[in-house]
């Protein structure tokens, strides 16, 4: 059997880049988030270790590896130790079909910034693998043999099931218009100018996808599975040391994946007017497109981190209501609008008008319902005061 080095060296190079980048990115994303939190709260943040505190993450990583690995006596040990690896493995597997740089839509020789190029069911594979990461949280909460951890695990299970539906609904529009589940082809379809970015004619789908994907990453304001005010630490209450770091690294890896997908599917990926054209083989063109993609992804990551220190945490009933009463109906309406546009072979810009109209009408309906709730509460309060006066 002959070895096809033309296939193996690009694959090996892509895997080395990803496996080397993810742990370092996880360390320094904690540093960036701490600095951003300090800025929001008018503090200094980490500034002691190294210039501007840049070596603080390295010091924290060394400290974590040297900490004693405490395993509580009451846990189910085998599952307890295995659970943290599930989320990280699923997060790393999902990255395999996500381009982290320019990649041709059609397979060809040479290096491509993706581990598994040309996967025709890339979106389906991504959704399937990312949804399995819930098992790490669920098994970790159950194996901890702690009621707070179990409550956090059950919350995570309901949250993952609920928000998988709007994610799927939000992606159906661009899949139907592009005619492919291949992520490289979905990016290539946006390369003819900024007006072809999916965000402009699917703004509602972009909003639904971003909110639902953020909820699946267990980030504030959606971190009900680790709500410290109610559950001490939630599903990872009994975890410490490197075991806890694996949960945190899986969360940050998922955060990076969500940011990449938001940019690749709705904001043109590595395309930008005046800077990038059709994908070519020149080193300069490749680097320019890589910088464009990195800047876009960095802005999304920074926005997600900013949300953590801006919005308060939802109540659990609000979390479920947002999915079942908000995002899912909006996703169905957006899909119905797409069906009408495709049936009558109308311009896709009608989807922009329909999306804005749906958002405005849903906002007006929410305001009306909120006013009615306030009136009912006021009437009930007046009735009670009259009764006891």
Per-residue pLDDT of the chain (389 residues; tens, 9 = 90+): 455 666 677 777 777 878 777 777 877 888 888 888 888 888 888 888 888 888 888 888 888 888 878 888 888 888 888 888 888 888 888 888 888 877 776 666 666 778 878 788 888 888 888 888 888 888 888 888 888 888 888 888 888 888 889 998 999 888 888 888 888 888 888 877 788 888 988 899 999 999 998 888 888 788 877 776 667 777 888 888 888 888 888 888 888 888 999 999 999 888 888 765 555 556 777 788 888 888 999 999 989 888 888 888 888 888 888 889 889 999 999 889 888 888 888 888 888 888 888 888 888 887 788 788 888 888 888 888 777 76
Contact 167, 216 (CB under 8 A): yes
Alpha helices in the chain (DSSP H): 5-40, 56-66, 77-95, 122-132, 134-143, 147-178, 183-188, 198-201, 203-216, 228-231, 241-266, 283-308, 316-321, 328-343, 349-388
Separation of CA 152 from chain center = 19
Distance CA 361, CA 162 (A): 23
Distance CA 178, CA 243 (A): 42
- Cα-atom radius of gyration of the chain, to the nearest Å? 23
Q: Phi and psi (nearest 5°) for 72?
A: -60, 150
Query: Which tokens sit at 200?
Result: 């402009």
Number of alpha carbons in the 13 Å side-chain half-sphere of residue 27:
18
> What are the distances in angstroms from CA 249 to CA 84, 110, 221, 231, 256?
10, 31, 19, 21, 11
Residue 128 CB partners (closer than 8 Å, separation 6+)? none
Cα 165 to the center of its chain, rounded Å: 14
Nearest to 252 by CA among 88, 44, 382: 88
Of the candidates 133, 158, 148, 151, which has an alpha carbon nearest to the alpha carbon of residue 237? 148
Structure tokens that stand for 100 in this block:
């982290």
Sign of the Cα pseudo-torsion (277, 191, 100, 121, in order): negative
Domain ranges of the chain: 5-21+72-314
């Amino acid at each position: 059997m002959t070895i096809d080095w033309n296939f193996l060296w690009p694959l090996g190079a892509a895997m080395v880049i990803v496996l080397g980048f993810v742990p370092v990115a996880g360390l320094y994303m904690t540093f960036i988030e701490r600095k951003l939190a300090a800025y929001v709260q008018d503090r200094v943040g980490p500034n002691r270790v190294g210039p501007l505190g840049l070596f603080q993450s390295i010091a924290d990583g060394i400290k974590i590896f040297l900490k004693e690995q405490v395993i509580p006596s009451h846990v189910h040990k085998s599952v307890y130790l295995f659970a943290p690896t599930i989320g990280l493995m699923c997060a790393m597997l999902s990255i395999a079909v996500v381009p982290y740089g320019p990649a041709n839509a059609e397979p060809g020789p040479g290096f491509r910034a993706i581990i598994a190029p040309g996967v025709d069911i890339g979106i389906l594979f991504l959704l399937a693998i990312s949804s399995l990461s819930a098992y790490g949280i669920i098994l970790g909460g159950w194996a901890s043999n702690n009621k707070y951890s179990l409550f956090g695990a059950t919350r995570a299970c309901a949250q993952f099931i609920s928000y998988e539906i709007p994610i799927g609904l939000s992606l159906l529009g661009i899949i139907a218009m592009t005619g492919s589940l291949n992520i490289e082809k979905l990016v290539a379809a946006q390369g003819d100018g900024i007006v072809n970015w999916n965000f402009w004619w699917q703004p509602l789908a972009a909003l639904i996808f971003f909110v639902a994907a953020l909820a699946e990453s267990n980030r504030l304001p959606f971190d009900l599975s680790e709500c410290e005010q109610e559950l001490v630490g939630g599903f990872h209450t009994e975890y410490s040391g490197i075991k806890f770091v694996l949960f945190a690294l899986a969360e940050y890896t998922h955060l990076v994946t969500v940011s990449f997908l938001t940019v690749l599917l709705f904001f043109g990926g590595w395309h930008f007017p005046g800077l990038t054209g059709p994908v070519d083989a020149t080193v300069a063109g490749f680097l320019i497109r890589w910088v464009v993609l990195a800047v876009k992804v960095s802005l999304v990551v920074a926005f997600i981190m900013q949300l953590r220190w801006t919005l308060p945490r939802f109540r659990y009933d609000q979390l479920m209501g947002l999915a079942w009463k908000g995002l899912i109906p909006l996703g169905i309406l957006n899909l119905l609008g797409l069906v009408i546009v495709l049936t009558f072979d109308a311009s896709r810009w009608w989807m922009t008008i329909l999306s804005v109209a749906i958002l405005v009408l849903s906002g007006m309906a929410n305001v009306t319902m909120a006013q009615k709730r306030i009136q009912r509460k006021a009437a009930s309060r007046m009735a009670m005061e009259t009764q006891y006066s």
